[in-house]
Structure 1
Amino acid sequence: FFYGAAASAVMLYGFTFLYGAAGTTNIYRLMQHTAYLNSGFLGLAVMLVLAGLGFKISIVPFHQWTPDVYEGAPTPVTAFLSVGSKAAAFAALLRVFYVALPAYGWVTILAGLAAVTMTLGNLVALSQQNIKRMLAYSSIAHAGYMLIGVVAQASNPVGPWSGQGAVLFYLLGYTFTNMGAFAVAISVERALGSDAIPDYAGLSTRAPFSALAMAVFMLSLTGIPPTALFFGKFFLFAAAINTGFFWLAVVGILNSVVSLFYYAGVIRAMYQMPAPDGAPALPETSLVRTLLTVTVAVTVFIVFFLERVISVVTAAATLGRY
């Protein structure tokens, strides 16, 4: 709570600087004034706003709260935090930095933060034995991937290769994939009272539908075709290459390879490790089955509606510019 309040205060302080310099909070009028503002003054305002939004998104170095909160909060709350706050903060980030502050050289800063964020998130996730902490560091890494789209949007390409369109598509896939993964985590936690990944041993025999769904979500988070986040990462990396950030796309691809090791660890526990002696079968309620069916369907079958989804996302990205 206190971290969140402090981050909001810092962000509002940055907006106060912008208002004091431009005399308006209208983002379109801010865009007209930023080119004439003192670069040092504007830079301070940008840093304060970025710090506040970076906390909400879990960008390094504003990510420290994420693992402890994800692990300590009730799992349904953690599921909401993993997608809800991130989606809202990225929407604000795109509006503020792309519309209101296009004249300021923040692109290089965000490119560096994207590389560090995805790398740190993936490397630390490798050693996690708690599913919620692993997904927490995973969410940090995914914030880094999505920052690639924000960076690419600086050159304002059009069509499905735009950075903003790629971020929106990625957010759509990430929302369903992550919500599905947390649905399985909630089911396992309620049945076993544990969030430990080793306790997922033999889940394929104790709860076969949940295990299959969890495997799909882990593959999607890795970016394995034909899942939703494979196409999400493809669009993000393509947008980066299209706008001259080839090195950032390479960093993203390498990080996706690293992430395979800890996501595959969950699958290995479910399918290759034997269930402990006397381990009970996990109940799969109709509600859980329905939720998993919907999230798996979107995660896997989005490929069959790819053209339609791309057109909707592109239209939304176009509206976001005005």
Structure 2
Amino acid sequence: MWGGGSQAIFNNMLAVDNFALFFKLLFLAIAALVILASVDYVSKFARFRGEYYALVLLSTLGMMLMAATAELIAIYVALELTSISLYILAGFLKDPKSTEASLKYLLLGAVASAVLLYGMALVFGFTGETHLGEIARTIQVMPPQALLASPALILGIVLLVAGFGFKIAAVPFHMWVPDVYEGAPTPITAYLSVGSKAAGFAIILRVFYSAFGLPEWLSLDWGLIFAVLGAIGMTLGNVVAISQTNIKRMLGYSSIAQAGYLMVGLATVGLSPAADILGRSGLLFFLASYALTNLGAFIAIIAISGKLNSDLIDHYSGMGKRAPLLALALTLCLISLIGLPPAAGFMAKFYIFSGAVHHGLLWLVIIAVINSVISAYYYLRVVKVMWLGQPAS
């Protein structure tokens, strides 16, 4: 997939290609940083340290399988391996907030898994295949009239979008994000915000590019679906983030907005899946830069919160004087999340926005640029509090 040749193993269930390799390396880097960030945190706040690290590694294994699977049943198994590990990790602190976060994540995740499984069943019922390549070939030989007349296939695709939308925290499947991000252990919040999201986008690209990217009408449809969801998501996430006082909750809504920006790249790939190099390379670069930048922000927050014993933004007042290196690290990460030059976030947005304009999505790029300006308010508010606020006595 996407150049460099591809091989299949385990009866064509797993693909060995550049796409899978990129995401495997990304997931391993994320897991390594999360484990390093967890050492002091787990020693202070959590019991069962061995189980904690084992669950992080299990979820990482699931994410790596998600990036490589080319068969619907294997996709579901890999996704559940990741999800169940994360449900447990979200409630690892055993306090009321952490338990509430885990329970909400579990219940809503179970519903999303059921929706996803039903969508897979409908696609299988229509095509008679579970392998993504065979699904694509079956759809390709069918006349467009037969495809359009099939409510089962259309409903199956819609349910797949809904199920995967939960995993990437896309609107309107984002209800779990703020409470789970606030209540989960901070290293796991970081892991959820980058690892789970990257895995969700990996599987969306694999499924929709491999199985539904061939017929023109199908690729057009799912590209526009993601464009509309992206516009709604980035707007809602940024607007609600403005009023947040808890930095973890603020970054939770920020991650919803970031998913909206990523959907600009998805929409671009969907509108031209066979030939578009700019859109897909920009999307992968955005994913990598967002993952490392957001993870860096959370690592700084873990260190600062360890000193303050608080996640409230107002309590960060004067951190530029008390811990200038931590404040500087967090500032640089927030600037990149805004997309200001010369940060990596600026180049990432430039690439995906350029691809979108090239494929006629100027309206979506205008919405995204306006939302980037809105996001600057709440990101720079944290910077202002840290550098211009007075340290608490």
Alignment TM class, shorter chain as reference = 0.7 to 0.9
Mark the CA change 1:157 to 1:203 in structure 2 (over 3 Å): closer, same or farther.
Answer: farther
Q: What SS does structure 1 have at the residue aligned with 2:294?
A: helix
Q: What SS does structure 2 have at the residue aligned with 1:106?
A: helix
| Post-superposition CA distance 1:157-198 (Å, at most 9, x none) | 75751x221111001101110111101111122221110001
Mark the CA change 1:39 to 1:242 in structure 2 (over 3 Å): closer, same or farther.
Answer: farther
Q: Distance in 1 between matches of 2:257 and 2:182?
A: 17
Q: Distance in 1 between matches of 2:164 and 2:273?
A: 22
| Match for residue 5 of structure 1 among 82, 103, 110 | 110
| Match for residue 332 of structure 2 among 212, 216, 237 | 216
State the partner residue of 1:242: 358
1:28 aligns with 2:144: no
Alignment of 1:242-321 (within 5 A): 242-277=358-393
State the partner residue of 1:94: 205
- Name the Cα RMSD after superposition: 1.2
Query: Is contact 1:34-1:42 (8 Å) kept?
Result: no
Query: Is contact 2:223-2:269 (8 Å) kept?
Result: no
State the partner residue of 2:266: 150
CA deviation after TM superposition for structure 1 residue 39, in Å: 3.8
Structure 1 unmatched runs, 5+: 278-322
Q: Distance in 1 between matches of 2:314 and 2:274?
A: 45
TM-score in terms of structure 1 length? 0.83
| Match for residue 164 of structure 1 among 274, 280, 298 | 280
Q: Distance in 2 between matches of 1:157 and 1:200?
A: 48
State the partner residue of 2:152: 41
- Letter aligned with residue 137 of structure 1: Y
Query: Is contact 1:160-1:235 (8 Å) kept?
Result: no
Q: Distance in 1 between matches of 2:311 and 2:150?
A: 48
Query: Is contact 2:182-2:248 (8 Å) kept?
Result: yes
State the partner residue of 2:171: 60
State the partner residue of 2:194: 83
| Post-superposition CA distance 1:244-293 (Å, at most 9, x none) | 1111111111110110000000000000111112xxxxxxxxxxxxxxxx
Q: What SS does structure 1 have at the residue aligned with 2:245?
A: coil
State the partner residue of 1:16: 121
Query: Is contact 1:57-1:90 (8 Å) kept?
Result: yes
Q: Distance in 2 between matches of 1:39 and 1:90?
A: 27
CA deviation after TM superposition for structure 1 residue 33, in Å: 2.2
State the identity %.
47
Q: Distance in 1 between matches of 2:153 and 2:123?
A: 7
| Post-superposition CA distance 1:40-85 (Å, at most 9, x none) | 2211001111111000001100001000000010101100000011
Identify the structure with bigger relative contact order (alpha carbons < 8 Å, sequence gap 6+).
1
1:138 aligns with 2:138: no
The count of residues paired between Structure 1 and Structure 2 equals: 276
Mark the CA change 1:209 to 1:157 in structure 2 (over 3 Å): closer, same or farther.
Answer: farther
State the partner residue of 2:318: 202
Structure 2 unmatched runs, 5+: 1-105
CA deviation after TM superposition for structure 1 residue 2, in Å: 1.5
State the partner residue of 2:299: 183
- Letter aligned with residue 273 of structure 2: N
TM-score in terms of structure 2 length? 0.69
Q: What SS does structure 2 have at the residue aligned with 1:274?
A: coil
Q: Distance in 1 between matches of 2:183 and 2:160?
A: 28
CA deviation after TM superposition for structure 1 residue 19, in Å: 0.9
State the partner residue of 2:229: 113
Query: Is contact 1:222-1:259 (8 Å) kept?
Result: yes
| Post-superposition CA distance 1:61-120 (Å, at most 9, x none) | 000100000001010110000001100100011111122112322222211111000000
Q: Distance in 1 between matches of 2:138 and 2:119?
A: 16
Mark the CA change 1:22 to 1:122 in structure 2 (over 3 Å): closer, same or farther.
Answer: same
Q: What SS does structure 2 have at the residue aligned with 1:135?
A: helix
- Letter aligned with residue 31 of structure 1: A
Q: Distance in 2 between matches of 1:39 and 1:215?
A: 51
Q: Distance in 1 between matches of 2:277 and 2:152?
A: 35
Q: Distance in 2 between matches of 1:17 and 1:72?
A: 36
State the partner residue of 2:180: 69
- Letter aligned with residue 173 of structure 1: S
